[in-house]
Amino acid sequence: GAAMDEEELLSVDYEVSGRVQGVFFRKFTQGEAKRLGLVGWVQNTSHGTVKGQIQGPTARVRELQEWLRKIGSPQSRISQAEFSNEKKIVALEHKDFQIVK
């Protein structure tokens, strides 16, 4: 049932475009992920987007996806958030949520 699904672990890759570099987007994403108890990483790309991976309980991953799609850091302007490689995992592959330089 629904309770079981909540506990399932999900891994999903993301890439966010818009005004997302130089606006503390990575720092805020890390803070939000930690608040939700998620692991993974976030990094700036050479073409002006921010990308990374999120892993954790399905419901929490969905929350961060919404945050990446609609909220972001206070000064950011998100034009698009794309998610890919979504899959169920049996164990988390990261220890925490890191900002990759």
Cite the active site residues.
26, 44
Element spanning 3, H or E: helix 2-7
Residue with tokens 């720092």: 27
C-alpha span between 35 and 84 (Å, rounded): 23
DSSP letter string, 28-60: HHHHHHHHTT-EEEEEE-TTS-EEEEEEEEHHH
